[in-house]
Amino acid sequence: MNPFEILRFAAGGLAANKVRSALTMLGVLIGVAAVIILLAVGNGSSQSVKDSIEKLGTNALTVSSGGGFGSGGSTATSTKPLTVDDARALADPSAAPDVQSVAPEVTTSQTAIYDGTSHTVGQVVGTYPAYFEASNSKVAKGDYFSADDVLNSRKVAVIGSTTATDLFGTASPVGKKVVVGGTPFTVVGVLETKGGTGFQDPDDTVVAPLPTVQNAFTGFGPISQILVEAKSADATTPAQNEITTVLMAQHGIKDATALDFRVSSQESLLSTQSDTNKTFTVLLGAVAAISLLVGGIGITNIMLVTVTERTREIGIRKAIGAPKGVILGQFLAESTLLSLVGGGLGVLAGLIGSRFTIVGIKPVVIPESVWGAFAIAVAIGLFFGSYPANRAAGLRPIEALRHE
């Protein structure tokens, strides 16, 4: 029997039980599609965070409280929170000559209301005007708030494009009053759209003077973080060292291995994000691989049933001279055909599913995952079909013919 005849017999065997064959292929289809889509979601999430970090600008440094995670193994036993005084110390040009500007931040989430329309703002930021340049946030309409607005704690705000659209629709928000968390703010500007497909929309934001947000929402305690802009991209490393020296003096720290704060550059943020995302993607891939394994077990189950049902047929074929290899090849061809068709349809479903946004993330397909998932599906068909095929090939003709 030549390979074409083996393939024709295998196709005929599967066609004899269309519903059963289709359900078995469905298991493989779901497994392959899950691998492609989940790995694409992990890759898309990584790309989104990377884009957001890069949009901060090449000169930006972020100072945050805490020394345990991502600080190179700090031995700090207690953590002193960051304060506005720390930010003022960093703004001293004699202590930190490579620092261009400093913007302390407090963040919270509040509900904004305008003319009966309510919207939960993702991030309400209280900061200084230097925040806009350091975070690469440009105004598309209106203007920024000024240092005078900060000194006088004026209730003014610059809002993101998503917030503007959700609250004001197509109307211009500049000059209008919006109530944020029960406090009325006058909108003085709308930021340019940054875009993003991650869990948090960077354009869903309200930026207001620091003392105004502290007075209305967070209180005058610790701040969330300090955004620092170095004088140039080449000055980020010396600026990072100056920040460390100044804050060690501010916090009374003498041991450089016991820092209770972190200074993160864009490069270190990208590195940390990359490590985190690899773990996330591997986890998603493992979950998807389990579903592919379950599909393979389904092939074994169905092929065992097929061998049992066709025992007499196997006996007749062996009685008229069919060698063991032909019987083995026929059932292996059936199991491989199941995984081949199921895997091909799974690739198609995975590529189509990856075109849709999933939980706010635009999936980015990894080409290797497509070929890899398809190859593994075919290998699974061969592996899980080998036991039923060996069982069929090992039947003795006389016992097979007696089978009822």
Q: Tell me, what's the pLDDT at 212? A: 93
pLDDT digits (tens, 9 = 90+) for 95-104: 889 988 899 9
Characterize the bridge pairing of strands 117-127 and 99-114: antiparallel
Q: Tell me, what's the pLDDT at 198? A: 54
- Lowest-confidence pick of 9-18, 100-109, 159-168, 327-336: 9-18
User: How far apart (Å, rounded) are the C-alpha atoms in residues 380 and 81?
Assistant: 54
User: How far apart (Å, rounded) are the C-alpha atoms in residues 233 and 242?
Assistant: 15
φ/ψ of 175, rounded to 5, equals 90, -10
Indicate the pLDDT class of residue 74, thresholds 50, 70 and 90: low
Q: Give mean pLDDT, residues 72-83.
A: 71
Decide if 58 contacts 231 (C-beta within 8 A). Answer: no
Residue with tokens 């100044």: 246
Identify the burial level of 355 via C-beta atoms within 10 angstroms of its C-beta, where 0-12 means exposed, 13-18 middle and 19 or more buried. exposed
Q: Give mean pLDDT, residues 291-314.
A: 84
- Closest residue by Cα to residue 361 from 91, 135, 100, 42: 42
Residue with tokens 């980020």: 236
Q: Tell me, what's the pLDDT at 352? A: 92
- Closest residue by Cα to residue 269 from 82, 135, 77: 135
Residue with tokens 């354009």: 203
Decide if 226 contacts 57 (C-beta within 8 A). Answer: no
Decide if pLDDT at 71 tops 60. Answer: no
The token duo for 354 is: 């990856």
Which helix (H) or strand (E) element contains residue 110?
strand 99-114
Q: Count Cβ atoms below 10 Å from residue 335 Cβ, excluding itself.
A: 28
Residue with tokens 């899950």: 34
User: How far apart (Å, rounded) are the C-alpha atoms in residues 1 and 324?
Assistant: 12
CA distances to 19, 30, 242, 301, 360 from 295, in Å? 16, 8, 58, 10, 29
Decide if pLDDT at 109 tops 70. Answer: yes
Q: Tell me, what's the pLDDT at 196? A: 60
**For the whole model, what pTM was predicted?**
0.60
Question: Which carries the bigger pLDDT value, residue 336 or residue 6?
Answer: 336
User: DSSP assignment of 148-183, as one string?
Assistant: HHHHTT--EEEE-HHHHHHHHTTS--TT-EEEETTE
User: How far apart (Å, rounded) are the C-alpha atoms in residues 304 and 24?
Assistant: 13
Decide if pLDDT at 272 tops 80. Answer: no
